[in-house]
Amino acid sequence: MLNRAALIVRPKQPFLDWAASLDDSGLVPGLAGEHTVYLIPEFESDEDGRLVLKHVYAEIFERELDSWHTDPSAWPQKRDFKTFQEWFSIDLHAVVEDLMDDVLVDDDLDG
């Protein structure tokens, strides 16, 4: 078991509308497609999980926007916690099991 929790982010309609407004190709992220799972600090209770979410939501919001459109000038100006909750469905999971024997590797770290 890892000393992490997991947070799964799924786009809601406001995110889909924003994504569609950037491109007239008709390509938009889907509600049933791949979703990002973030490893976050572990927590013991629902209240603790909400506190962790409030601590990490801004970074997650920006990562989700960047995953669709890399120009921050096109991102919504209002990116507070309330807007985050309106734009994304969140599932928090306190228990994360690692079934692999391999060492956990972070591709974003140098070396």
State pLDDT tens for residues 70-81.
999 999 999 999
Q: DSSP class of residue 102?
A: S
Q: What is the mean pLDDT of residues 22-45?
A: 77
Tell how strand 4-11 and strand 36-41 pair up. antiparallel
CA torsion sign for 68, 28, 35, 103 is negative
Q: Which H or E run contains 82?
A: helix 81-87
* Residue 108: pLDDT over 80: no
Cα–Cα dist 74/25, whole Å: 17
Mean pLDDT within 35-57 = 94
Region 6-32: what's the mean pLDDT?
80
pLDDT for the residue numbered 15: 93
28 against 67, higher pLDDT: 67
Q: What is the pLDDT of residue 35?
A: 84
Q: What average pLDDT does range 9-35 have in this prediction?
A: 78
**39-43, 84-88, 97-101: the lowest-pLDDT one:** 97-101
Per-residue confidence band for 63, with pLDDT thresholds at 50, 70 and 90: very high
What pLDDT score was predicted for residue 101? 84
**How far apart are the two ends of the chain, measured CA to CA in Å?**
25
Instruction: Count each helix (H run) and each strand (E run) in the chain, helices first.
Output: 3, 3
